[in-house]
Amino acid sequence: MSAGDGNLGAGGQNRMARIRERYGVLRRRGDAIWARRYARLAIVLVAAAAVILFPYLFQPGSTFLFDLVEAVAFVVMALGLNVVVGFAGLLDLGYVAFFAIGAYTIGWFGSGFFAYVNHTKGIHILTSGLASTLPGIHINLTAGRQGITPIDPGQLPGLNPFDPLNLRPWYWVALGMVAIVLLVNVRLRDSRLGRAWVALREDEVAAASMGVPLVKTKLMAYATGAAFGGMSGAFIASYLNTVNADQFAFSFSIFVLAMVILGGLGSIWGVVLGAIVLSFINTWLIPSVIPNLSSKIGIKVDLTSLSYGIFGFLLVIMMVLRPQGLLPERRRKLEFVEHVGTGPTDMSAERV
């Protein structure tokens, strides 16, 4: 069908015109794509700047900032659990264990715990009964309810040493952790392993038949989630300056799980939102806002004694009204919307 000998001729001129037109279209479409990309980049940069500079709006030691840092630490936790529960679809009710391991690790090494010897000979377990009557040296593993305190805060090169009066460096460290966890989450979602997790969650048998090693893949999910749980746990222990057994109740696991589910299972930004919302409900709305509210409305009942119930009520309401979560994962939304894909190459552009 081609002209063959290099002479354009009438047919050739038509072709050139068509080529030029198509090139023009492509150039315009290309421009549009680039414009979209630049716009997106600009938005991301502005948002990042806002997030980084946020603490300057508040006093360095303000309680809001205190709660905010805790919320950010919870975001890291929730994103870690998201890998296990959201991506791979594995129900994990023991997530608090990794929080504990991280917290105790920094407790051991960040304080004089191992270094001081008890004033009595040998070091004893803080338990009673059979075990403590055995002679010999016991290793002090946990300090039970009393806990290990104080814990030296972390020292990072270049930043001023942390102190409880200036919460900003804590915030930025926490933000750094979030950045890492986000990167890991996003990268894994669109990778061989991420796809294996979704397949595993959908249909384990089919996944195995397609070559996905079940045990190894599940372990990878747990390991990744655990790593972030531990990381955040170490941070929180250092931040709160204490680690003791009371912090590690079963309800903590449920709390973080609620963040993941509320945010929208598997949806990365949903989980971020869920973590922030629940953390603030827990540390701010219920302790501070609601008691004030009751006096403003003139209710005689002391609403603080209802804080459990209010929290539970909020959970129920949020789930019943929006079971798919605050920002549901793209996949679940797409189930209900007919969507004509433009081809595989565009799919990578669609993601975050």
Map the footprint of another protein across residues 19-78, applying CB under 8 A. none
Among residues 242, 241, 80, 239, the alpha carbon closest in space to that of 146 is found at 242
Choose, by CB under 8 A, the member of 14, 59, 146, 191 that binds another protein: 191
Residue 175 within binding range of another protein, rule CB under 8 A:
no
Question: With contact defined as beta carbons under 8 Å apart, do 71 and 283 qualify?
Answer: yes
Smallest gap from residue 36 Cβ to another protein (A): 18
Instruction: Give the nearer residue to another protein in terms of CB position, either 93 or 289.
Output: 93
163 forms beta bridges with 166
Query: Cα-atom radius of gyration of the chain, to the nearest Å?
Result: 27
Residue 5 within binding range of another protein, rule CB under 8 A:
no
Instruction: Give the nearer residue to another protein in terms of CB position, either 193 or 327.
Output: 193
DSSP-derived secondary structure for 164-195: TTB-HHHHHHHHHHHHHHHHHHHHHHTSHHHH
Residue with tokens 């595989």: 344
Among residues 116, 177, 150, the alpha carbon closest in space to that of 242 is found at 150
Choose, by CB under 8 A, the member of 51, 97, 101, 208 that binds another protein: 208
- Give the whole-angstrom CA distance, residue 105 versus residue 235: 11
Choose, by CB under 8 A, the member of 213, 246, 293, 352 that binds another protein: 213
Smallest gap from residue 294 Cβ to another protein (A): 15
Choose, by CB under 8 A, the member of 4, 6, 129, 136 that binds another protein: 129
**Residue 84 CB coordination number (10 Å):** 26
Residue 220 within binding range of another protein, rule CB under 8 A:
yes
Instruction: Give the nearer residue to another protein in terms of CB position, either 173 or 188.
Output: 188
Smallest gap from residue 90 Cβ to another protein (A): 11
Choose, by CB under 8 A, the member of 203, 288, 293, 295 that binds another protein: 203
**Residue 166 CB coordination number (10 Å):** 16
Choose, by CB under 8 A, the member of 77, 100, 212, 277 that binds another protein: 212
The mark string for 297-326 relative to another protein (x by CB under 8 A, - otherwise) is --------xxxxxxxxxxxx-xxx--xx--
Residue 194 within binding range of another protein, rule CB under 8 A:
yes
Choose, by CB under 8 A, the member of 141, 156, 159, 206 that binds another protein: 206
Instruction: Give the nearer residue to another protein in terms of CB position, either 152 or 327.
Output: 327
Instruction: Give the nearer residue to another protein in terms of CB position, either 60 or 314.
Output: 314
Tokens read off for 33: 């794509």
222-261 positions binding another protein, by CB under 8 A: 223-224, 250, 254, 257-258, 261
Tokens read off for 143: 């300090």
Choose, by CB under 8 A, the member of 183, 289, 293, 349 that binds another protein: 183
**Residue 352 CB coordination number (10 Å):** 12
Instruction: Give the nearer residue to another protein in terms of CB position, either 58 or 227.
Output: 227
Q: Which stretch binds another protein (CB under 8 A): 19-27, 41-49, 70-78, 129-137?
A: 129-137
The mark string for 254-293 relative to another protein (x by CB under 8 A, - otherwise) is x--xx--xx--x----------------------------
DSSP 145: T
Residue 11 within binding range of another protein, rule CB under 8 A:
no
88-117 positions binding another protein, by CB under 8 A: 91
166 forms beta bridges with 163
- Give the whole-angstrom CA distance, residue 184 versus residue 30: 30
Question: With contact defined as beta carbons under 8 Å apart, do 279 and 182 qualify?
Answer: no
Instruction: Give the nearer residue to another protein in terms of CB position, either 15 or 332.
Output: 332
Distances (CA, A) of 19 to 13, 33, 342: 10, 20, 22
Residue with tokens 């929290």: 311
- Give the whole-angstrom CA distance, residue 224 versus residue 77: 11
Residue 207 within binding range of another protein, rule CB under 8 A:
yes
- CB-based contacts of 235: which residues, under 8 Å, 6+ apart? 73, 76, 102, 173, 174, 177
